[in-house]
Structure 1
Amino acid sequence: MSAFLYPGRHRIAVLVRQGLLPMELSIVHQLFAQARTADEERLYEVVTCAVAAGDVRTTADFAVSVSHGPEALAEADTVVVPASDEDYEPRADGRLSEPLLAALAHIPAHARIASICTGAFVLAGAGLLDRRRATTHWNSAARFRRLYPTIELDPNVLYVDEGAVLTAAGEASGIDLCLYMIRKDHGITVANDVARSAVVPAHRDGGQAQFIRSAPPEPQRSATGRARAWALSYLDQTLTLCDLAAQESMSVRTFTRRFRDEVGVSPLQWLTQQRVERARRLLEETDLPVDRVAEESGFGTTASLRQHLQAQLGMSPSAYRSTFRPSCT
């Protein structure tokens, strides 16, 4: 009997393992279940499967009863692999167990595959990340690099999209990745509705650097929040480091240091991220010509907009619009 009951929906299989981090399983079910059409029809169907059906131990004081074995993977359009406590002590050679490799062999060639947190160790051990970019939890980065030196690991981002293979950094980054996949599948409006329903931001700035333990954070309010709020109101204008620092009455040097401590990237990198985000929204939600999008988002010229979208998203403005706003093609 098929694990999936609704053939018209995008099918997501979550492959869980012993020592499951339960939050990561619930994230996938909760967020994708909230994605609906304008007529309130669900856009995804999510099932949970394991290497063998039965009870799966979690890191909490309860187990999860899983009805489906790896055969459910064969019908999936997307496979999500959450973390497990077994990732904290992987085999010395980085290889996966034979039962897990056999389970992964069920995944069809067309399926999109994503990992959350240290679930990236499974994708790496299966050879799915060879010579690709990826991320995992910052605390496991050194171990990951040691085991998989041919993989370009970036522990300073929340998630990485390599097309058919995606990786998220930590538990909460699984939320960011799921919202990103929903946005990629169905556009910004659906993704924003899901984020609103879950009471989470539709898009988070920065990366893992802001979560890595270093010096104790200052207990006062955000030192650069006022400048960031001000900048968002003037993205279409030329903004300098001096302009931003002046909003907090700081020197450029002090402002830059505190900004990086709080946000995880430099002020100018953050500014570019915000302009790219505004450009994406304008390309998805409006029919403005590309040159106007460039002006409204603060890039000034179509060439500059194209350069930054290509660098951050790997797409030109017209390609992005045709992908995420098909009615405009």
Structure 2
Amino acid sequence: MAVTNSKQILTFEQLSNEITAIANCKVLFDFPNEPNHVTERQYGFLQIDRPTVRYTAFTTPHALTLYSALFKPECALQTRLHSPEITLMITTMESQSVCFNGSWINTDQVAIVSSRSEVPFALFIPQNTTVILSEIAEPSRKLKSFSDSLVPVAVSKRNLDKFKAVGKFVFEQPTEKQGHGGTKAVLDLITVLLDELPPLRPQSLHGPSRRPRKHLMTKIVKMMEQKTTRAMSLKQIANELDISTKSINLFFKEYLFIAPKRFYLLVNLFKFRNILIQGKCSSVLEATVLSGVDGWSRYSERYQKLFGEKPYDTFMKSK
């Protein structure tokens, strides 16, 4: 999708592709409680490219979960920003908040992830939230250290409020002239925000439980994604990692707001849908084999409940 100063309305698949390219992550949502399914959802999206920063804002009408084994953006992005190293700064507009690696971002905090660190992260976004993603070509040891801590970073609330106000202006009135001027202000504020980062205390990187939990979450997710030929056993994963099933449940509740068994189900349903959308299979049955779907009749019902259409309907759209 070409970068533009105009606000766009995207489908879920389009939004998912954009976010995946930015954050090298996977995007999930749970079963909807309202009648509007993913095929009927609309997502506001604005993206503006500048020499050293790409500024993205998007709004989701329902809760989203983003999870990444590591932050390492696509090479095309690094070339576009003329830097082999990218720092992703995450915040929201107004007083909205998101949960970054199990910690809710306060009104005076931002989340920072650096491609130099290649660290895993998880982001839970509540419904009706506008998220701001600022990709910064800034090879900084300081930013890498904050990224390693994997916790929200406190900055000046006054400057952060200004940043959100300008972002809201650009997002809601994205004409060419206003968008350009607003973006300049955003870029100036990004520089201010990064310059005012406080000294990082060594103990903030090595808490008694934070770093082990984050690495365990990554291992658990990878093990779930690799189990494509048989049903997942939470007890087996716990035994292999020498932890309890209770700990796994607590990790998922804290980081992803999804129970581990439900997360495993969603991963398989989204994997199944992606295979159908790509149109590389000759039948729905072949797609079930490629995605490792077990218990076809049960998955078909859940698929329709989640996506608002039958698997065969998705398959025919790809033809």
TM range (shorter): 0.3 to 0.5
Bigger fraction of residues in strand: 2
Structure with max Cα Rg: 1
| TM-score under structure 2 length normalisation | 0.38
Tell which has more relative contact order, 1 or 2 (C-alpha 8 A, sep 6+). Answer: 2
